[in-house]
Structure 1
Amino acid sequence: MYNATRSVLEKIAIDRRVTYSQRGDANSALKKLLTFDFVFILHMMQRLMEYTDALCRALQYKSHNILNAMDLVAATKSSIQEFRDSGWEGLLQKVLLFCSKHDTLTLVPDMNATYSDIIRSRRNKDIVSMEHHYRVDVFTTTMDQQLYELNSRFSEQTTELLILSMDLNPSCGYKHFNVEKICHLAEKYYPKDFSEHEKYHLKYELELFFHDVPNHVEMKNLSTTTQLCRSLSESGKSFLYPLVDRLIRLILTLPVSTATTERAFSAMKIVKTSLRNKMEDDFLSNYLTVYIEKEIAEKFTIDSIIDDFDSMKRRRVQLNQ
């Protein structure tokens, strides 16, 4: 594939039938294709994506078992960490062999030579070798960034909350249902949603729930936690197991909370301009709320806002209706 791509770019670069701009783009791409940086990064990312591909496919599969997905996350982290710690020599040898086979050996730098970098020299940083640059600045840094991203996306809190949702998921026949673990996670992540008295009774309510609901005729074929919550409400069992029902509803708000947080960070890039950096935090927070929840904000009319503002306190000037 590499030779085929190189051949196509070479032909386009000298083909007078294509535009000058296209020949220039092809020539530029060809020069980058023949660099050692391109070959090295190509092999590094290929190896990295081999580790993450299975995880990406598993997370996109809607009906995938969450516990299996979390095990795959842990396995992916371990594989990348092992590659980071002991994969450098093998990767470098593979890249050098590739360069030799594809007639790019002349572009291979001497790993013991000094790495020349304009930014590094201007900042008076320590002089490093080529090997240090590719091993530390490129290889190790990339692996660390990938591990950081996985740890941020799948932190201990996120993983345990997903496991908690799986424990109460009826799709597997409640085979992961564990009263002690559910109570522990509920107390750990929802301490303000249950009083001490309720935390004590949650255990016994879960035990009754486990011996009742899975055996109920109308609740045997449920496949999602959402269906379970709806079925509890429709059957009236939410009144029999109010603490379990509350816990299920809290779990169901997790995707909404995550989505709202992501929307908030996306909105910050648009709303928080250099001019608005001078705003007070309270004012900016209110502004963001209106921007993020614009679908709800559109339902309010200007007249209703004026009426509410006018009713807050007596004002010197009468507002026009």
Structure 2
Amino acid sequence: MAFTDLLCRALQQKSQDILHAMDLLVDTKSSIQDLRDEGWKDLLDKVLSFCNKHGTLVPDMQASYSDSIRSRRNKDNISMEHHYKIDVFTTTMDQQLQELNSRFSEKITKLFVLSASLNPNKGYKNFNVDNICRLAEKYYPPDVSKDDQFHLRYQLQLFYRCVSNHDEMKNLSSITDLCRTLAEIGKSNVYPLVYRFIRLISTLPVSTTTSERAFSAMKIVKTSLRNKMEDDFLSEYWIIYIEKDITEKFTIDSIIDDFNSMKTRRVQFG
């Protein structure tokens, strides 16, 4: 928790430095992995010291550990230390790493890092034409054709010279501000490919936020009682749960009318 707390706080900030956040993510993963591989002995010593200091009963770590489930499945005896180290400590560390890897895969991390190349914060210090072109080629091929990718590189080079000499574009802090300013001062027509690509990048926080909300909803919606729910029904259930602002506008009468319009029924609801 001490390692992940700093990462959670950083990711919740409204003004986000993507590069620093991704560096912190990599460092957090490495720290948890080091703790998993080499941190058991130090943790055990701290726990034993705490228990002895407060008069808490400490089990014999070399004694045999058994429970009813393990006894039925495995006749081999294991020690108390093995149980707490493998079944509790290592399992917890693996769950933490799996959660971070699933939410922030290598592909998603690279996407965030490359998208930071368009961030105008701190005088466009992260601006990198090669990274932006690589981002367009790898992640947005349906939106940016091969011909557009060729011209995008030259528009980006001219665009960077422009922002360095334009007062209204020097002190921007986010991609959203950059997109809005380009439209306001008419530069969106001068650099149409750059403007289109900035608009694509500006939707990235929205899409990732929706994904995060979906992950949170999954734990609530798909309980053990709903474990056999089919994918189509589960997907529709998620939409209703996540988009509560939209579903609150539905009325019982509109739902009944839609249900009746699907096909002819012997009994009509009214």
Letter in 2 for 1:174: Y
Instruction: Count how many residue pairs are aligned between Structure 1 and Structure 2.
Output: 268
Letter in 2 for 1:169: N
1:129 aligns with 2:79: yes
Distance 1:234 1:166 in 2: 23
Distance 2:140 2:9 in 1: 31
User: Structure 1 residue 175: deviation in Å?
Assistant: 0.9
Structure 1 residue aligned with 2:190 = 240
Letter in 2 for 1:150: L
Q: 1:169 aligns with which of 119, 124, 149?
A: 119
User: Structure 1 residue 201: deviation in Å?
Assistant: 1.5
Distance 2:253 2:139 in 1: 42
Distance 1:304 1:53 in 2: 45
Distance 1:281 1:93 in 2: 47
Distance 1:68 1:193 in 2: 28
1:100 aligns with 2:52: yes
1:109 aligns with 2:59: yes
Question: Any conservation in 2 of the 1:70–1:159 contact (CA below 8 Å)?
Answer: yes
Distance 1:259 1:206 in 2: 28
TM-score, scaled relative to structure 1: 0.69
After superposition, give the CA deviation of every residue in 1:5-38 in whole Å (9 maximum; x if it has no partner).
xxxxxxxxxxxxxxxxxxxxxxxxxxxxxxxxxx
Question: Any conservation in 1 of the 2:118–2:124 contact (CA below 8 Å)?
Answer: yes
Q: 1:67 aligns with which of 4, 7, 19?
A: 19
Structure 1 residue aligned with 2:166 = 216
Distance 2:251 2:164 in 1: 48
Question: Any conservation in 2 of the 1:160–1:185 contact (CA below 8 Å)?
Answer: no
Letter in 2 for 1:91: L
Structure 2: state its 5+ residue gaps.
none
User: Structure 1 residue 52: deviation in Å?
Assistant: 2.7
User: Structure 1 residue 303: deviation in Å?
Assistant: 9.5
Structure 1: state its 5+ residue gaps.
1-48
Distance 1:82 1:270 in 2: 32
User: Structure 1 residue 291: deviation in Å?
Assistant: 5.8
| Structure 1 residues 114 and 55: CA distance shift in structure 2, 3 A | same
Range moving further from structure 2, 114-123 or 278-287: 278-287
Percent identity, please.
71
| Structure 1 residues 212 and 75: CA distance shift in structure 2, 3 A | same
Bigger Rg, which one: 1
| Structure 1 residues 53 and 293: CA distance shift in structure 2, 3 A | closer
Range moving further from structure 2, 75-84 or 287-296: 287-296
| Structure 1 residues 59 and 285: CA distance shift in structure 2, 3 A | closer
